[in-house]
Structure 1
């Protein structure tokens, strides 16, 4: 990870946000965490306690500590002091637009705002940004990010190339060490179960989270699908 980034803001502590927090802590970074869900603070603490032994076996960076994070109810006053933002809010367009606009207004102008969005391109939620929407991009992890070192960095058309490069340096992704190992061990059902957080209701949670977006993807694919009929190929 780039040495210029020391403090990370993690917005949202669901399955992805909690895993991001564990990863950033394991790399010796200071993390400011926020989530409005009433029991988010205690759930995150329990998650980190459970996952840190695994991270310790994988190897921690110098100075890494499970206690090097701060859970805050109001992230606003901390935003001017963070070096990158990892947003993990619900996949709701209007909600993300308002949130990204607030992050754009309150962070330093050169700070990358990366979204973990898996269904909404960043071009759709920068419309209310007044300061520097060119530093907004997608930083979508393969779940869980603290175990699968692979992140999709997807800029929107106006994202400045320097921010894309900085994000790549920060995430330092690799297919050989990430995706290949996972696909060798987990099939589609286990992948979806893990994506929903594990447990008996995880697949249902995943469907509730992504089903509306998946319907849009399917509609889009059908509208732009290739015609393989004999008439079209003649």
Structure 2
């Protein structure tokens, strides 16, 4: 991919993750965040993450010198090819910022929101100039390593913009998932929310601790999910007849009240159970130390999937050892 100018609006955890991925792939980044100390925090983040990026692989032209913080939103977006918005997850805030970006950015620029919940139709509704180029491009933390990005267009989105965005994110060594429609929470977060909701019920009811819930995922389905999603995992559970037998055998169990469906009330008591449980699990390891450990693991895991020929997951091919 030829070098592009990427604008990043909002430099929290997700915004900094985007900056890292853009920079590692050799692009120029113009960043804007009005919060006090934002640039210093981003520079500190890069000092921590650059060795990881170097291990994972960076383009020859990649350089921290390609990052510039601007004093105004206009300076950040006026020459951008892609604008990645990462402001706080509040509908009014996002709509207001995106409307300003729409006013200031060149007509050819793609405006992408990293929102984890809002539909693109809601976000583009306040844009008066070119709402057709406003999309959702929802990543997963850490953005600089996790390849999935969910792309969704709204009622006003031009499909050619989605295809153009797919090419850009693919060029960033990501795996764009273009959604056929739009739903609150998109796909990945809807699935994670279901597990999170049930996890809270289990802890709240005193059935298990946070550590035991995590063990139930890490040592069980989590291992399989690294290779196969829920559908292919259950396809194998049906034996030689696959999913057909699985549904016939276990389908009736879907009517059992295994799920609580509604999230539990986040009381002070439940909050303390979760906070104290995760604090005990962390021991004397800092969040920063755990992030480094996570990143090392993710790099090894993705390399294993690559070596074993397990990408992509949507179509399996024969792979003989």
TM-score (structure 1 length as normaliser): 0.73
Q: CA deviation at 1:142?
A: 1.4
In 2: Cα distance, 1:72 partner to 1:104 partner: 18
SS of the residue corresponding to residue 287 of structure 2 reads coil
| Structure with a larger share of its residues in helix | 2
Summarize deviations over 1:71-102 as a string: whole Å, max 9, x none.
Answer: 12312134221111000001111111111111
In 2: Cα distance, 1:183 partner to 1:107 partner: 40
- On the 8 A contact 1:8/1:86 being kept in 2, the answer is yes
Q: How many residues align?
A: 185
Which stretches of structure 1, 4 residues or more, deviate above 4 A after TM superposition? Answer: 179-183
In 1: Cα distance, 2:6 partner to 2:31 partner: 8
2:287 corresponds in structure 1 to 199
1:174 corresponds in structure 2 to 175
In 2: Cα distance, 1:158 partner to 1:25 partner: 31
The change in CA–CA distance for 1:10 and 1:181 in structure 2 (over 3 A counts) is: farther
SS of the residue corresponding to residue 67 of structure 1 reads helix
The change in CA–CA distance for 1:153 and 1:107 in structure 2 (over 3 A counts) is: same
**Bigger radius of gyration, 1 or 2?**
2
2:4 corresponds in structure 1 to 6
Please show how residues 74-113 of structure 1 align to structure 2 within 5 Å. 74-113=72-111
Q: CA deviation at 1:174?
A: 2.8
1:72 corresponds in structure 2 to 70
Structure of greater relative contact order (alpha carbons < 8 Å, 6+ residues apart):
1
TM-score (structure 2 length as normaliser): 0.54
- On the 8 A contact 1:148/1:182 being kept in 2, the answer is no
2:142 corresponds in structure 1 to 144
Gaps of 5+ in 2: 177-187, 189-221, 228-273, 279-285, 289-321
Gaps of 5+ in 1: 201-234
Q: CA deviation at 1:146?
A: 0.4
SS of the residue corresponding to residue 34 of structure 2 reads coil
Q: CA deviation at 1:39?
A: 1.4
Query: CA-atom RMSD, angstroms?
Result: 2.5
Summarize deviations over 1:43-72 as a string: whole Å, max 9, x none.
Answer: 100001110111111111121001211012
1:133 corresponds in structure 2 to 131
The change in CA–CA distance for 1:34 and 1:183 in structure 2 (over 3 A counts) is: farther
SS of the residue corresponding to residue 65 of structure 2 reads coil
